[in-house]
Amino acid sequence: MALDRWIALILLGVCLTYGYTAWFTMDDGLAPFMRRNPIWPSTFPKVLSILGVVASTIILLGLEKGEAKAGEIDYRKLGDYNIGQALLLLGLMVAYALCLRPVGFITSTAGFLILGSVILGERKWHLMVPVALCATLLVWYLVQEVLGIYMRPLPGFVGG
């Protein structure tokens, strides 16, 4: 089964779960006076769940014949691409999300930019480090001073 039909199967599962919630469990807690309303919080989701189930079934069963066209990247040969770099960068983004608050904006951003370049194969440290630091400080200044959004610059124990 091709990837698009696998995805349709997953989406069908999502729509069925969504539909189950909308049709059977959501209205339980509805206040009596709201039950007289022609529209309930679950009305619109009910309609959507039907549409979603129909659309995903059409894709899953291949009812609509489309011309097969080669995508930009052939997912069957993912190994031929730089999949390692992509996964490492995704990991780095997750690490950044987790570090932003505790480690501080300047430390984590500079680290993110430098490590990101390193993952992509950059080794010119004399260029990479100043660029990352300047960009980080500039963005921090803009966000903190101009936009007035507070961001802790350094880790808490350094006084940031």
Partner 1 sequence: MLEGLLIGLETAFSLQNLLMVIGGCLIGTFIGMLPGLGPMSIIAIMIPVAISMGDPSAALILLAGVYYGAIFGGSTSSILLNAPGVAGTVASSFDGYPMAKQGKAGKALTIAAIASFAGGSIGALLLMVFAPALSSVALLFHSAEYFALMVVGLSAIAAFAGTGQVAKALMMTVLGLIMATVGEGALFNLPRFTMGIMDLQSGFGFITLAMAMFALPEALFLVLKPSNIQGGEGGKITDLRISRAEAKSIAPVIGRQSIQGFFIGVLPGAGATIASFLGYAVERNIAPKAEQEEFGKGSIKGLAAPETANNAACTGSFVPLLTLGIPGSGTTAILLGALIALNVTPGPRLMIDEPQVFWAVIMSMFIGNLVLLILNLPLIPYIAKVLSVPRNYLIPFILFFTLMGAYIGQNNATELLLLVGFGVCATALRFADYPLAPLLIGFILGGMLEDNFSRSMQLFDGIAFIWERPMTLALLTIAAILVVLPSYRARRARLRRAGTADGD
Residues interacting with partner 1, by CB under 8 A?
2-4, 6-8, 11, 14-15, 18, 21, 26, 34, 37-39, 41, 43-45, 48-49, 51-52, 55-56, 58-59, 63-67, 69, 71-73, 75, 78, 81-83, 85-86, 89-90, 93-94, 96-98, 100-101, 109, 112-113, 116-117, 120-122, 128, 131, 135, 139, 143, 147, 149
Among the listed residues 136, 119, 117, 137, the one whose alpha carbon sits nearest the alpha carbon of residue 128:
117
Length of the chain as a residue count:
160
**Angstrom distance (rounded) from CA 44 to CA 19:** 11
| Min dist. Cβ of residue 154 to partner 1 (A) | 17
Nearer to partner 1, 124 or 158 (CB): 124
| Min dist. Cβ of residue 56 to partner 1 (A) | 6
Distances (CA, A) of 127 to 106, 110, 114, 124: 18, 13, 10, 6
**Angstrom distance (rounded) from CA 52 to CA 19:** 9
Nearer to partner 1, 37 or 157 (CB): 37
